[in-house]
Amino acid sequence: MAALLEVNNVTGGYSPSHAVIKNISFAVHPREIVALIGLNGAGKSTTIKHILGLLQPLDGSIKIAGQSFQSAPDSYRLSYGYIPESPIYYEELTLWEHIELMAMSHGLTKEELSKRAELLLREFRMEEMKNRFPQQFSKGMRQKLMIMMALLVQPPLYIVDEPILGLDPLGIRSLLTWLQRCKEQGAGILMSTHILATAEKYCDRFIILHKGEIKAQGTLDELRQFTGLFGHSLDDIYLRIVEDEKQ
């Protein structure tokens, strides 16, 4: 199956003299959830910024559905849904106006908008917040706004950065089951996280990033084989890989 997202030998960072991520390669295919795992400062967010087209790789290439950001910046940005780690929003727009503009910018019809938005608002229990401003929301509610905006447009690829932090337990369940459903319908999902128990339960493959380099990647079984920790949890495997590096 052709990959949705292809990251090929990417080296990059915030300044040309100092690469934060080094020679990274991985792919996300339709119908799979891939976890990007690493400590604080491992390079997860930097990797994601390169994928979003906010940072340009010093070396290597990134393609979504065969297109790079440079070759088609407008359609590239429309081809993914992004849930950021810290919510970004317009102070001047209400929750509903964010959702409406999102639908508009992605070319959804009014009917599609009202049908999908209604479902999402109910699922994330945000119906009563419709006409309120994100400024008045808690961190978790802002996060829910980001989630609803990404899920609304039903893109082929989701890029999700630390989605669980700040969400209440019901919100976490809603998000994960919804992503599961998107996956079943053919979407590919890249999810950065350091909540390993959740990653182990919901993700199909894992990319372990440490100090800007990929230390291991594969399914849980492949990782077990790689480390020799048969029958162990992702937590143990991850710690082994990172500890080995320390020694």
Give the binding site for other proteins (CB under 8 A).
52, 54, 73-74, 77-78, 82, 84, 88-93, 97-98, 100-102, 104-107, 110, 131, 133, 135, 149
The position carrying tokens 């080296």 is 11
Angle at 208 between CA 188 and CA 172, to 5 degrees: 55
CA pair distance 195, 178, nearest whole angstrom = 18
Q: Which is nearer to other proteins, 69 or 124 (CB)?
A: 69
Q: Which is nearer to other proteins, 110 or 115 (CB)?
A: 110
Helix (H, G, I), strand (E, B) or coil at 18: strand
Q: Give strand pairing partners of 80.
A: 157
CB 55 within 8 A of CB 184: no
CB 77 within 8 A of CB 155: no
CA pair distance 169, 86, nearest whole angstrom = 18
Q: Which is nearer to other proteins, 49 or 210 (CB)?
A: 49
Q: Which is nearer to other proteins, 62 or 216 (CB)?
A: 62
- In the complex, least distance from residue 173 CB atom to other proteins, rounded to whole angstroms: 26
Q: How far apart are the first and last CA of the chain?
A: 39
- In the complex, least distance from residue 73 CB atom to other proteins, rounded to whole angstroms: 8
Q: Which is nearer to other proteins, 37 or 117 (CB)?
A: 117
- In the complex, least distance from residue 243 CB atom to other proteins, rounded to whole angstroms: 36
- In the complex, least distance from residue 159 CB atom to other proteins, rounded to whole angstroms: 10
Angle between helices 139-152 and 169-184 (to 10 degrees): 10
Q: What is the DSSP letter of 85?
A: S
- In the complex, least distance from residue 207 CB atom to other proteins, rounded to whole angstroms: 22
CA pair distance 14, 55, nearest whole angstrom = 7
Q: Which is nearer to other proteins, 9 or 86 (CB)?
A: 86
CB 102 within 8 A of CB 63: no
- In the complex, least distance from residue 107 CB atom to other proteins, rounded to whole angstroms: 4
- In the complex, least distance from residue 201 CB atom to other proteins, rounded to whole angstroms: 29
Query: CB 14: neighbour CB atoms within 10 A?
Result: 11
Q: Which is nearer to other proteins, 37 or 153 (CB)?
A: 153
